[in-house]
Amino acid sequence: MPAGGARVKLEVFDLRGRRVAVLADGFTAGGTQSARWFGRDAEGRPASPGVYICRYEAAGRAEARKLMLVR
């Protein structure tokens, strides 16, 4: 990420590709940032246990990682 910051988008998807939650969507300062997902969907309902995909976009890069939600 550039030192001056960048537009960041961090989303959680289920395995069918449906967006479950948006954890970040906007400009952020440069450097290390963190976000926390409390296992809830966009309406605040508990998400079902299982595998999810977390997708991160910033500074022209995109990455995805698997998450496992266990209750």
Ordered by start, the domain boundaries in the chain are 1-30+41-54
Say yes or no to pLDDT of 2 above 60: no
Say yes or no to pLDDT of 70 above 60: yes
Residue 7: both structure tokens together: 């537009």
Q: What is the pLDDT of residues 7-48, one digit of tens each?
A: 999 999 999 999 999 999 999 887 888 999 999 999 999 999
- Mark residue 25 as left, alpha or beta (left: phi above 0; alpha: psi -120 to 50; beta: remaining): beta
pLDDT of amino acid 64:
98
What's the half-sphere exposure (Cβ side, CA atoms, 13 Å) at 71?
8
Say yes or no to pLDDT of 1 above 60: no
Could you tell me if 37 and 53 are in contact, meaning their C-beta atoms sit under 8 angstroms apart? no
